[in-house]
Structure 1
Amino acid sequence: MTSIANSVRCETFSFREVARDGAARAGELQLTHGTVQTPIFMPVGTVGTVKAMRPDELASQVEAQIILGNTYHLYLRPGLDVVRAHGGLHKMMGWDRPILTDSGGYQVFSLKDLRKIREEGVEFQDHISGSYHLFTPEKVIEIQETLGSDIMMAFDECPPAGADEHYMRESMARTTRWEKRCLEARTRTDCALFGIGQGGTSEKLRREHLEELGPLPFEGMAIGGLSVGEETQAMYDTVEFTTPMMPDEKPKYLMGVGKPEDLVECIARGIDMFDCVIPTRNARNGQCFTSRGVVVVRNAVHKEDLRPLDPDCDCYTCRNFTRAYLRHLLKSGEMLGPQLCTLHNLRYFLTLVGQAREAIVEGRFEAFRKRFHELQAEGGSR
């Protein structure tokens, strides 16, 4: 096997910081399928689709620059043979912009009693057929290269919230060994590979792990193991002391986060990239995020409300439909309801990070941050 020093590099990847305001920064990320302006939010398309959205809507109306797929789920269904027959995930799902794929580590470790961890990798029983599989670092790289990901994530162990220091250290050491094997296993020069740092909410453990991973030839670095049950302030504090430990010349990605206030607060602490299922999952239940707080459009108070979801939003939903109509669709079980709410939520998230970027470039991020929180408090949840 090729040594890490001589491992394959991604020839189509580059990242540059274009502006900084405090710890917040704006950047430009070049990938095989296009350029991404950071900070950025990535809609989650776990199984090759962002739920309730067509790819053309994602591109033209949401203005998504990059989306996320999942190694575990796509490996199980439809399977690599089907993806390969289409010529990769981009062609299969009709999406010509960048895709980041999670390694499947979080999904495998969430199986709890259905998996066994050993040095080689993780053996697990899948949730669909009950059959047994083995994920190794080499296997997850093979899967992601078959998918044709613009950004692949290294295989890591995501320790449970509250794990003791002894377990965390064992887990971190294993993750380091696995991530080195991921670097050695890569073969494609058009797929970037990001490492993932662990360490819970401990500054000491985060520093130790990043001191091991930082010098390795990953194109980017992610913070893993947050938003898994810890208090919100503990997450913010961990991000605040962790981002300065991460290489500034590489993108900094906070995995699985979050709500609009999390995006603003973690951009303020130096994060460049986010993903989360919240805007799509919550939309299907009628919870919509707006510039003035959360609107639960299913609530009876909106039965005759002729206002748009958000008067400051330019999305198709807000330009054309009332809260009363959206509530009617959701209460009637019509598919259009979740579709319109999802479109709005994703557009709001992408607009928010775009506004944050503009504020960073113009040197007024703190004013933007303050105004964001004022408007959220003014509207509340209703």
Structure 2
Amino acid sequence: MYTLKKTAYSTKARLGELQTDHGKIETPIFMPVGTLGTVKGVSQQALTEQIKAQIILGNTYHLYLRPGCEIIKKAGGLHQFMKWDKPILTDSGGYQIFSLSDIRELDEEGAHFQSHIDGSYHTFTPENVVEIQRILGSDIMMLLDECPPYPSSYDYAKNSMELTHRWAKRGRKAFLETEPHYGHKQAQFGIVQGGTYKDLRIESSKFMADQDFEGIAIGGLSVGEPTELMYEFTDLNTDYLPEDKARYLMGVGTPANLLEGVARGVDMFDCVMPTRNARNGTIFTRHGRVNIRNAQWKDHHDFLDPEFPSDLCSKYTMAYIHHLIRNNEIFGLVLASVHNLTFYLWLMDEVRDRIANDTFADWYPGMVEQLEQKI
């Protein structure tokens, strides 16, 4: 499924390609998050033509609850339901269960939880999470795992990791013993856990590498730990992951986080930040972050970045965008969302070019510093 094309000098950055039945994915790549079968505020046409997304992410927990597996199965799977003909990755629901810690219980069978919508009771097991994702028909499905909170004690992190490992064996068995529903191949990724403990992270990396998944995710980071710890454990994990498998850092992050992750050997990223922050008025640019809600832009009739290929940057003035966002006009939220995703995908395209041209190592530290500026 994954082909490693090149490794950058002086860093662990990798140039690669993921092949799926819905098309190839050039890596490193960022995946826009389409929680409920839609990337908020963004049409499928915009995802394809403006943003140039290669793959999007759907959320198993939310889609299971709404609209439900029966409806999606009748539609012919998530691709048909949302009319998206490119690859889809679905998470396992593990992170949502982590975030519902006050209304869920974990045991050997799986995760027992109450719906945040109506309080109804449900259970996710390693086996039925595979079947739910068979019904969704994603190109890449994730294992059910437990994401331990930060901070966690060593004993908690160890027990949690070992539970995830036992679930991983069951989930892999269920995957290998079942077939896709819609005639296209599906892949399954393992998930490394272990909290912020080096020996556990190494053990989990080696365990997941031994299970022969089609790819491996780094989980349990970006959950409140200091950024430097996230970088440290990402770097540690990729040292022990197979070179011939895709590596996916889950739930990350800012543009600078993406560059730092690429430098540490990560191939795939996802995060709600581009669209969520857009709705709050944060615009990501090549020169840093802009809070377009700030009063300084009220009478600023220049373009944000005239040479950047998005309408928000080169067609509408900052004063107009400020006006739209401050008044919660839907058009402003759409413009900002499309722009931020366009920027994230542009950044990944630039990263791939830099790795191919052997300029990534010299370029990325300065770009990180630039991206972290507040304008």
Deviation at 1:162, TM superposition (A): 1.2
Partner of residue 374, structure 2: 381
Deviation at 1:321, TM superposition (A): 1.0
The total of aligned residue pairs comes to 367
Partner of residue 11, structure 1: none
C-alpha distance in 2 between matches for 1:246 and 1:373: 25
1:166-220 C-alpha deviation (Å, 9 max, x unpaired): 1111111110110111111122351100000001222211111122221112100
C-alpha distance in 1 between matches for 2:235 and 2:302: 39
SS in 2 for 1:214: helix
Q: Is the contact between residue 356 and residue 368 of structure 1 (CA under 8 Å) also seen in structure 2? A: no
SS in 2 for 1:60: helix
Q: Is the contact between residue 126 and residue 170 of structure 2 (CA under 8 Å) also seen in structure 1? A: yes
Partner of residue 8, structure 1: none
Q: Is the contact between residue 137 and residue 179 of structure 1 (CA under 8 Å) also seen in structure 2? A: yes
Aligned residue identity for 1:243: T
Aligned residue identity for 2:297: H
C-alpha distance in 1 between matches for 2:44 and 2:188: 24
- Counterpart check, 1:300 vs 2:303: no
* RMSD (CA atoms): 1.1
C-alpha distance in 2 between matches for 1:309 and 1:26: 31
Once superposed, which parts of structure 1, at least 4 consecutive aligned residues long, lie more than 6 Å away?
none
Partner of residue 156, structure 1: 145
Which of 335, 350, 358 is the matching residue for 2:353? 358
Matched ranges for 1:53-64 at <5 A: 53-64=42-53
Aligned residue identity for 2:334: Q
Deviation at 1:313, TM superposition (A): 1.7
Partner of residue 179, structure 2: 188
C-alpha distance in 1 between matches for 2:346 and 2:170: 38
Q: Alignment identity in percent?
A: 51
Matched ranges for 1:255-294 at <5 A: 255-294=250-289
Which of 204, 207, 229 is the matching residue for 1:209? 204
SS in 2 for 1:155: coil
Matched ranges for 1:172-187 at <5 A: 172-186=161-175, 187=178
Q: Is the contact between residue 291 and residue 312 of structure 1 (CA under 8 Å) also seen in structure 2? A: no
Matched ranges for 1:76-91 at <5 A: 76-91=65-80
Partner of residue 56, structure 2: 67
Gaps of 5+ in 1: 1-13
C-alpha distance in 1 between matches for 2:162 and 2:361: 38
Q: Is the contact between residue 252 and residue 272 of structure 1 (CA under 8 Å) also seen in structure 2? A: yes
C-alpha distance in 2 between matches for 1:40 and 1:312: 23
Q: Which deviates more from structure 2 when the two are superposed, residues 255-264 or residues 238-247?
A: 238-247
Q: Which deviates more from structure 2 when the two are superposed, residues 250-259 or residues 186-195?
A: 186-195
- Counterpart check, 1:15 vs 2:11: no
C-alpha distance in 2 between matches for 1:35 and 1:368: 27
1:4-56 C-alpha deviation (Å, 9 max, x unpaired): xxxxxxxxxx1111111131011011012110000000000001000000001
Partner of residue 100, structure 1: 89
Partner of residue 154, structure 2: 165
C-alpha distance in 1 between matches for 2:69 and 2:358: 46
Which of 95, 99, 109 is the matching residue for 2:98? 109
Partner of residue 348, structure 1: 343
C-alpha distance in 1 between matches for 2:266 and 2:77: 29
Q: Is the contact between residue 312 and residue 321 of structure 2 (CA under 8 Å) also seen in structure 1? A: no
Matched ranges for 1:304-315 at <5 A: 304-315=299-310
SS in 1 for 2:49: helix
Gaps of 5+ in 2: none
